Every structure is written in C-alpha cells, then in structure tokens.
Amino acid sequence: MWLSFHNGVAMEILKNYQVRGANGTVRRTRFNGRIVDFWAPAQPTPYLLVTHDGQNIFDKRTSTRNRTWELAGTATKVAREYGVPAPVIIAVFHSGSPQDPYGRGKDLAPQDVFTDGVEPVVNHSGIWPTPTPAYPLSELRGNQYLDEIVHSIIPGVCTFVGHDLAPAQTALLGASMGGLASLYGMARYPETFRTALSFSPHWTVGREPLVERLMGALPPAGQNKIWMSRGTKSHDANYGPFQELANNYAVASGYQYGHDLATPIFNRTTHNERSWSSYVNQALRFWLNQSN
C-alpha cells in the first residue's frame, strides 16, 4: 500500500510484524527504494530514535548475525525507569546488496571528511576492505543518505504515527561505520539530531585525520549530547588512541562528562550486535535522562 503526504514524501507499507519484549507493531516500509522499519509506542511521545543498519534493529531474519539490538523492548524498559514514554524508533536499512556490495560503506561514510582530503586506510576493514579502493570517493553518498533521512523518512514516519518532531528529544544511533555516521549526522544536522549515540566508531578507517576532521565538525557544546563507547576485543581493541583523541576534542569543545558527554569502555565486549545490545540500555539512559 502506498501513502503520499503533503510534503511530497511517498511511503510504501510492505508488511507488519511483532517483536519480543515490546507491544505494538513494527511496520516495514519503502521510501524511494530504501527499506525502513519503524515502531511506535501506544502513547504519544516526544522522543524519536533514528538508527543506522536497520537490518539489525528489529528482525532476526534480516540481521547480519541472526542477532538484533532488541531495541524496542530495551527502550520501553529504560523509558519506564525515567517515567517517560518510549521513543518512536526508525530503523533505516543500508543499501548494501549483491548488486552493490559496498553500498553500506557508501551510505555510512562521512562523505565530506573523505572528499575534503582525509585519506582512507584502504587496507583496513571498513569502507574499503581491500588493499586498493574498491570504488572511487565520488561514489560516496553519505550526504544523500542523511538528507533522505531528514527530508523524507522522518517526515513520512512522523506523519504516519502522529508524532510531533521535537529536536531536543531526537537521537541518532549507530555502530562501527554507523557510529561515524551518527556523529556525522549530528554535525550535518545539529538542529535535528541533538544527541549522537555512537557505538564503536570505526576510527581506524581514517585514523587521526578522520578523528580531527569529524570531531572538529561537531557543534560546540550547549544544545547537543555525545555518547561514544567501545569494547576491548576485535576491531574495538584498535580504537583506543583514536577514541582518546576524539574524547579530548569533545572536551575542548566544551562538552562535559556527567552532563552532555559519555565515553565508556566496556571490557571484554566486542564488535557485534550481541555486545552493543548488552549495553545499549546505558546509552538510552544517557539520552533520556533529562537531568544530565
């Protein structure tokens, strides 16, 4: 079923399904060829959480490792702790496919950072997991991807569920390349995404220049909040010095621990949905706790 809205957004509803731990229905939709799943609580809410790698958020059948973030159930529990309604959750699928095997990297890479001079580390897994670039920088589409989220997907979903967008209560969440995309999304749209929840940001794909360029593009402290976490195993074991540099940049921009900045390290956790879902409740508390 196709739905068209007054702002020119068209959304096709593909199917509905339920997930464990949360009441209500997840709706699978398509926006201009991109798959988007979303879930909304029964009661009205000012909170909106937009997530990257939507394949892994709700549905095990589309997930990379047969494991999801279990986000609807966890968000419901954390919201109950704070006596606030759970957020609407939008899960945006990346465009990687057999026809476009590097589609995920093209979507999630912080486009301006790389096209403005930061050299990718092409022999490291990430955007270019081969010794030479698998595709030219001109094929990056991180800007288009974020523009699509802000100008098409969010308005369409919010209109459908009757949600009044409140930027102060809107967050962007992702892991690995999605962690970079969450920071980049807040840099590009600081008035839309007031909180960036960045899990295991994949700094090693650009190393120090990537950290300096991306953190330097973030808005100064005042209205926004930043969460950057990492584990200690697998790819995460290599992030330490780059994450410390990122933390220093955030502090230099005025962000304060215990208020609008959190950079926890989770020992013995690794680079997958099982680990991220095990502590996503802490990131949600950081976001939903309005006393920070």
Looking at 74-83, 96-105, 114-123, 246-255, which range is the least confident one? 114-123
Mention every residue, 6+ apart, whose C-beta is less than 8 A from residue 6: none
> What is the tens place of the pLDDT at every residue in 21-40?
888 899 999 999 999 999 99
> How many CB atoms sit inside 10 A of residue 243's CB?
21
CA distances from 25 to 40, 172, 249, 251 (A): 8, 21, 41, 40
Across 258-267, average pLDDT: 97
DSSP 6-33: TTS-EEEEEEEE--TT--S-EEEEEETT
pLDDT score for 261: 98
Say how many Å lie between the first and final Cα of the chain, rounded: 42
- Give the model's confidence band at 86: pLDDT under 50 very low, under 70 low, under 90 confident, else very high: very high
> What is the tens place of the pLDDT at every residue in 156-194?
999 999 999 888 999 999 999 999 999 999 999 999 999
Mention every residue, 6+ apart, whose C-beta is less than 8 A from residue 20: 70, 73
- The model carries a pTM of 0.95
pLDDT score for 292: 67
Do the domain assignments include residue 229? Answer: yes
pLDDT score for 121: 83
Q: Are 68 and 57 in contact (CB under 8 A)?
A: yes
Q: How far apart are CA 70 and CA 59, in angstroms?
A: 9
> What's the number of domains the chain is made of?
1
Q: Sign (positive/negative) of CA torsion 184, 240, 103, 109?
A: positive
Mean pLDDT across the chain: 93
Q: Are 172 and 153 in contact (CB under 8 A)?
A: no
Classify 220 as helix, strand or coil: coil
Angle (CA) 146-141-205 rounded to 5° is 100
Do the domain assignments include residue 96? Answer: yes
Do the domain assignments include residue 19? Answer: no
Q: How far apart are CA 77 and CA 71, in angstroms?
A: 10
Do the domain assignments include residue 18? Answer: no
Cβ-in-10-Å burial (0-12, 13-18, 19+) of 150 comes to: middle
pLDDT at 282 over 80: yes
Do the domain assignments include residue 56? Answer: yes
CATH number at residue 111: 3.40.50.1820
- Give the model's confidence band at 210: pLDDT under 50 very low, under 70 low, under 90 confident, else very high: very high
Q: How far apart are CA 151 and CA 157, in angstroms?
A: 11
Q: Are 238 and 143 in contact (CB under 8 A)?
A: no
Do the domain assignments include residue 282? Answer: yes
Q: How far apart are CA 34 and CA 14, in angstroms?
A: 12
Range of the domain at 94: 39-288
Q: How far apart are CA 68 and CA 62, in angstroms?
A: 9
Q: How far apart are CA 77 and CA 173, in angstroms?
A: 18
Do the domain assignments include residue 20? Answer: no
Do the domain assignments include residue 172? Answer: yes
